[in-house]
Chains A and B, each alone.
Chain A
Amino acid sequence: MTDNLPNIPSDDDFDDLNDLDWLKDAEVAPLPDDTDPLFDDKSENVYRDRDRDAGIGQAQYGRLAQRRIENAIEKAEEAEFGDPNQMLDWMRAPEVTDQDLPEWLRTPTDEPPPSWLQGISFDAPTASNTDWLKNVSKAGSDVPFWSPPAGDTGGLIAKSEALQNVDTGGLKSDTGWLENADFSGQRPATGGLKPAEDDNRYDFAAFGLANVEPLRTEEAPAVSLEDVFPQVELPTEAETSHPTEADADWDDLMTLFDAAPPPDAPPAPALDLSEEFFNLSPMEPAEADDDLDLDALLAIDPSQPASLGEQLNSALDLDLDALLNDIPDPAAPDADLDALLALPDDEAATTLPRSDFAPASTQTDGVDAALPEWMLEANPFAEATPDWLSEFDQPAVPEDPLANLDLPEASSTSIRNLSNLESRGESPDWLSRLDSDELPDLPTTEPTFGGRSFSLSSGQIDDMLTGSDDDSFEALVQSLSDEVSDPRQELDDLLAAMRAEHELGDDRITSYQEMFDSDLFDKRSIAELDDDAAVLRGTGNLDDLFASGLFDTSEIAALEADLPVRADLSEVFDGDREDMLSDIDLSPASVPVSESDLPLWFQGAQAGMGGSTLAAALRAKQDRPLAELDERLLALREDVLNVKADQDKAEGLIAEILPGVPEALTAAPVITARPELAAGLTVTDAHLTQAALLASLVSEQGRAETARQRSAVRVPVVRLLVLALLAAAIILPMSVDVDIAPRPLAAFAGEREAAYVAALNTLERGDLVLLAVEYDATHAYELDALTVATLTHLKLRGARPVVISSNSIGILRTKTLLEQVFPDGANRDYFLTRLIASGVVGLRDLANNAALLNLDASGAPNGLSIARLEEFAVGVLISASVEVNRTYAEQVIPQIPRPFLLASTFAALPPSIAYYTAGQFDGVLAGYRDTVVYEAVLNAAAQALIAPPLDEATEEAAPADQPTLPPPTPTAPPPTPTVEATAEAPVIVPVEATATRAETEAAPILPTATLLPSATPIPPTEAATTAPIASPTPISPTSTPTRPALSPTPSEVPLVLVGTIIANDTINVRAEPNTSAPVLTTLRPGTVIRALNFNEDRTWVSVVLPDNRIGWVAAFLIRVEERPITDTPFQRLPAVDRSQQQPTPEPLIQVGTVVFNTVDILDAPASDAEVIGQAQRGDQLRVLLVEGEYASVVLPDNRIGFVDVVALEVRTRQAADAQAIPAPGLTVVPPTPTTRPTNTPRPTSTPTLTPTPTPIAPVVAAAAPPEQATVDGGARWQSQFFGVMAAIALILVGNIYYLLRAILNRRRRPA
């Protein structure tokens, strides 16, 4: 027969048994009009008889029947499912009366009901399922097969009502059922299937067909499979065997699919219906059979011998980790969740091993004692609980609490059903038990317990998640999932019931394979189902299932949004984790959970659990015995206790040490990682002192005092006093002429300073000097003078500086100074290169690539062709920074095997002196003092030129009262530049210069030098009109150095300083370089007059008046320049209207009378200097200056000579008397020109140089001042001295003051 029924559905294609579509397309045989399809078990015979009688072929008959069925189905679809009046007759459920009940139900009896019936409730789907428990006490015939719903609905639920109660996922939303939920895991056996009975009838109402026909009575035969499928031959008893009530030897569903258990197989385990079938909430009513969802069957792999539930579970493989990993609770990390919720597949597969299905008879002993108390109370027949029922409460409950957590699978099944039904406007039966109102109000993001906000701490969440099987979150999740996991078992039970029915005698259908092989089913639909099943079988998890295209994803998404569990998780943990974490109240006050804090559905749960509510579980967790803790938790507990003890101790200590501080200052949270360290901390006296200070500061009084101090404007009296004293000490010498400070020596006493000058004295004309100027405006007032002095020295030596700088401000200042010293000498007398960028790297690059120096600041060639730094004769660094000094010493100096000098600020000297010691620098000048001495050395040399030419002096030796001097008459022809290139640069020799470093010793210090260079110091801040330095006189390099002679020859034309009055009005010539000095005479604008020298601070210029007197003119009123003496159109002094002048005292001069018989007049203030003349006793010489052991005197030929001061008696006389100075014994030796034999150009000099600036033509000797000679530093030197003294005094006074105050405070301090 099986062969004659092709296209049967496969064993696992029972998904849409609730879906009426399959009926629409099913090929079923027509039913006789007068045949009750449900009750006439002879229908098939009737059909055959009629068919045979009417001569109608089976095919034609089938088409007619199919059309009629389709019509009926259309009516059924259009009808309100809950309205029996609109249903087909055969679908209409009549009112159930006692007569409808079977005998065993109808008549109450003292006899206990059959063992299998005890505890079973047959509640029909009603709107008030929560009342089912009230009926639990009813047993046997007292229990109606179902409880009709309110109203005359015939025990049915209207479609609208059913849809209204639909909730997503097949979960109930009414919290009521949870109020009485028992999380103990011992679930009451409620509802379910009626096992097979002798009448061979089966209650289809339990499978969603309840409304078709109530349970038949004894007289009304129960619906049989033959009634439903009249053409199907049910298997005969001989073909199959079924367990009976006595032995309850039920095979699993596989037996129905021709997989008979082996003969020697162990007895089938007792089926825990409470877990497998009514896997809903324990309080769930017994209408679970409505939820016949065969979707689950589609995922079954027939090759697997496990139960359907196991196969479905493994096939869909719910990924709970993915679901629960969204929990952002840091206290419940993923690892914990994994350990809690994740189950290996093998464990899940063995959740319900087949061996557990033991015969009921083998597990009945002692079952009652194992029943929960509530169950015994609720069921008066508990003592007579049938064996199979008692197993419900046996430990047959899977060990793994998650084995039945089939929520997603159930949801998907429900979703699919819902989708299919709603598309046709129907409502599936299983939806009737879904009531959104019955679902619990699961906590949202911020649940409210007992009317007040409650935040779960991380520990609480962890406890919930790590709870045992009988409580807390896990039980909740399982209970929720159990509710929708029963369709699998429903199918098992359905098929088992079918088999049982078959066992009662109908032998026409041997198996369902045969049944589905019949023509009852549409082959095409079945094939589609096969396809769907194949897709489902290929799905590995829920995501794949949803992605299979079998479902309407839009509806799935909509339903998922309302899925209680998932909605709960998503809502609770939705959003940013940080925000959520911040919302978690970790304060201890939020930890205790009282019963009143729990929601109603939790509070009620406690009653059903015998005190094992969530709150109780939480409390139990807190009091968990230590013995139950594993070693790791014990260690953690010990650590926590230690930390808490240390924290308590620390808090107490803080409160003791800092009274009031913790209240005033919010202490930062302290995390003690290592308690032993905290314990090792000690509090010293210093700590206590500081703590007392802190406490006083944060106290009310201290804070008030601090606020008052802040608000009050305090005048720093002490600071102002110090400032005033220091300023007064510095300003005073500038306002009042004082001469208290010891004058600096006129020569360098130290080796490093003398070496600096000596190294520059080695320069020859045309030599290139690498001059690095590295200071900005901040140090300008300290280094500008030093820079000018160095430039002057270089100019005197005829050297040409090549200026570099990595300081842009330094470049700016240097440019200004260069223009002062070398007017119009850019790219000829000096070379200013471009800025060196990149600091140390740039300097290193320069050291390796000297060609960079061949460009000027604008990038144009400057005329140099330097290839290596060795071509420089000397290097000089003028710097204000120690770092710069070090950088040059490290990057540049090693690349120049030439002397390198350092001119630095005094602040940078101490750290930099090490580089001088190490030989990096060959000479060092630093600070203002060295600057003053350096200027003095230069000035001493320049003073040798103050004497005017003899003829000029003679000519101008007119009486002072001469009103008009004659115009000058040149007495010498113009100079003829025919001299050879043997001119020597001036050499300035400090006293110690010849006794210093080896490098400088090699420098030729000419001993025969006799004349001073015209090194006129340059005022750094004066206007350029003063032109301090004589302009370079273009003399051919071949000019022969000449010496001034009494009778100048054309080839020996000396140069003199000439001053031109540039003022717009007549100026005064004063006797001394200050405005308070008497006026000697006046000079008109444009007057050209012989200039001699600047004063120390270069604000006054000494001039030689026609009457040979020396007067002083303000420097800014006269332009000084150097000219050949033959080109000095000295104008005679303009007429001086003495009547308009106030009478002024006659200027004084110094006259020295020779007291020795004979005294040599030297050309230098040195004992080994050349004798240029002799004077006899009584001769009188005009003394210009007495410096040390020598006095400079003016010879008759206007040369300057030096005489030992001990040989002179110096007196002051009126200037008018100077004309009558008797010097009859004075003889002078005409000077003989000398040349420097070693004047060989350096080979490193650039041959392509432009004509080098010519230094002062006459080679003069170094005018080294006597060793003990001093120079007048001027007002600034005095200010410097006073400032230093004031600073030292203030520092001393301040320290003494604070010392005394400390002593006094110590004495006052109590012991």
Chain B
Amino acid sequence: MSLETLLSFTLTLLIFSYLLRDNLLYRLVIYAYIGITSAFVVITLLENVVATYLSTPDGSILLLVAFVLVALLALRTVPALRTIGLLPLAFLIAVGAAVAVTGAVAGTILPLVATVIVPGADVLNSAVLFVGVITTLLYFQYGARRRADGTVHRTLLVRGVGAIGEAFIVVMMGATYGAIILSSLSVFTGQLSSLLGR
């Protein structure tokens, strides 16, 4: 057994010790993993981003702007200047939100809607999609009235439609959960296969 295999085996055992309870050995491995990963990310960023920007004049200017924003962000540690630190945050959040929303419309909402309404599409699939979307929306729309005693009551129609939507959600969540188990097993078997040389 090579050193890599032995080390991998040991670390795997330490990870699995979490099944007993949260313990120091488990945390040791987790922290080591996080630390190593973080260090690698930093190195990668320096090599792949900072260094590459420094290699070109335009990149240097952009990098200077980035450092100014970083410096402003660091001002959040000073209570009196916390407001200034909001500037780069606002910039990042605003740009990120704008990009995300735009992309969501063009890449998710419209294509998914088009899947249902495109002529010639599978009628059954379209119907299922439509029903799933509507009932799920109604399930999350708690159109209910509060009685005097504080209890909340929904009408029979809303409850019935909501139950269908809930069923869709259950199926989706179950599928996701099962898929996660299968993925975990795949990783586990891959790890064991590597350890055992199979």
Contact = CB atoms under 8 A, between A and B. Distances in A.
A859 interface: yes
Interface in A552-590: none
Contacts of B155: none
Interface in B153-198: 172, 175-176, 179-194, 196-198
Contacts of B150: 680-682
Interface in B54-103: 55-56, 59, 92, 95-96, 99-100, 103
A916 to B, nearest CB: 10
A1276 B189 contact: yes
Given A680-B150, A891-B103, A720 B196 contact: no
B186 A918 contact: no
Contacts of A859: 51-53, 55-56, 59
A719 B95 CA distance: 47
Contacts of A840: 96, 99-100, 103
Nearest to A811: B44
Contacts of A844: 99, 103
B176 A910 contact: yes
Nearest to B111: A918
A1275 B195 CA distance: 13
A890 B175 contact: no
Contacts, number: 183
Contact of A841 (B99, B180, B197): B99
Interface string A905-933: 11111110011011110000001100000
A1099 B197 contact: yes
A680 B148 contact: yes
B189 A1280 contact: yes
A858 B53 CA distance: 10
Contacts of A808: 40-41, 44-45, 48
Contacts of B111: 889, 915, 918-920
Contacts of B45: 808, 835, 837
Contacts of B108: 886, 889-890, 915
A1165 interface: no
A719 B107 contact: no
Contacts of B40: 808-809, 812
A723 B103 CA distance: 43
A1270 interface: no
A841 B95 CA distance: 8
Nearest to A1277: B189
Given A890-B104, A918-B111, A1099-B197, A906 B183 contact: yes
A727 B61 CA distance: 56
Contacts of B194: 781, 1021
Contacts of A30: none
Contacts of B148: 680
Contact of B193 (A716, A779, A893, A1097): A1097
A696 B103 CA distance: 54
Contact of B21 (A716, A839, A887, A1275): A716
Contacts of A734: 192-193, 196, 198
Given A723-B19, A858-B52, A918 B190 contact: no
Contacts of B175: 910
Categorize the interface residue count of chain B.
Answer: 35 or more
A907 B183 contact: yes
A1283 interface: yes
Contacts of A1283: 185, 188-189
A731 B194 CA distance: 12
Given A682-B149, A918-B112, A1284 B187 contact: no
Interface string A410-424: 000000000000000
A963 interface: no
Interface in B15-57: 16, 19-21, 37, 40-41, 44-45, 47-49, 51-53, 55-56
A891 B92 CA distance: 17
A782 B182 CA distance: 10
A855 interface: yes
Contacts of B7: none
B181 A1274 contact: no
A778 interface: yes
A730 interface: yes
Contacts of B55: 859-860
A889 B104 CA distance: 9
B183 A905 contact: yes
A1283 B191 CA distance: 13
Contacts of B185: 730, 1280, 1283-1284, 1287
B49 A837 contact: yes
A735 to B, nearest CB: 7
A907 B193 CA distance: 20
A887 B197 CA distance: 37
A855 B52 contact: yes
Interface in A677-721: 680-682, 715-716, 719-720
Contacts of B20: 715-716, 719-720
Nearest to B49: A837
From B92, B114, B148, B198, name the one whose CB has the most chain A CB atoms within 10 angstroms.
Answer: B198
B49 A927 contact: no
Contacts of A911: 172, 176
Contacts of A782: 183, 186-187, 190
B106 interface: yes
A919 B175 CA distance: 21
Contacts of A172: none
A1018 to B, nearest CB: 15
Given A809-B37, A886-B108, A909-B179, A834 B49 contact: yes
A723 B21 CA distance: 13
Contacts of B106: 890, 894
B198 A1276 contact: yes
A910 B191 contact: no
A781 B92 CA distance: 35
Interface string A851-863: 0000101111000
A118 interface: no
Contacts of B181: 1284, 1287
A860 B48 CA distance: 11
Contacts of A858: 47, 51-52
Most buried by A among B100, B104, B150, B187: B187
Interface string A811-855: 110000000000000000000001101011100100000000001
B106 to A, nearest CB: 5
Contact of B115 (A917, A928, A1274): A917
A920 B186 CA distance: 27
B141 to A, nearest CB: 21
B81 to A, nearest CB: 25
Contacts of B114: 918-919
A1192 interface: no
A891 B106 CA distance: 8
A1275 B44 contact: no
A1279 interface: yes
B187 A906 contact: no
A914 B136 CA distance: 16
Residue of B37, B125, B148, B190 with most partner-chain A CB within 10 A: B190
A891 B96 CA distance: 12
Interface in A765-799: 776, 778-782, 784
A719 B111 CA distance: 45
Contact of B182 (A1099, A1279, A1284): A1284
Contacts of B149: 680, 682
Contacts of A841: 92, 95-96, 99
Enumerate the 6 nearest inter-chain pairs by beta-carbon distance, A residue then B residue, closest first: A781-B190, A890-B107, A859-B52, A890-B103, A918-B111, A808-B44
13 contacts: A680-B150, A781-B190, A781-B193, A808-B48, A811-B48, A837-B45, A886-B107, A906-B182, A907-B179, A918-B111, A927-B179, A1099-B198, A1283-B188
Given A837-B49, A859-B59, 12 more contacts: A731-B192, A808-B40, A808-B44, A809-B41, A834-B48, A834-B49, A835-B48, A859-B53, A891-B107, A907-B180, A1021-B194, A1274-B198
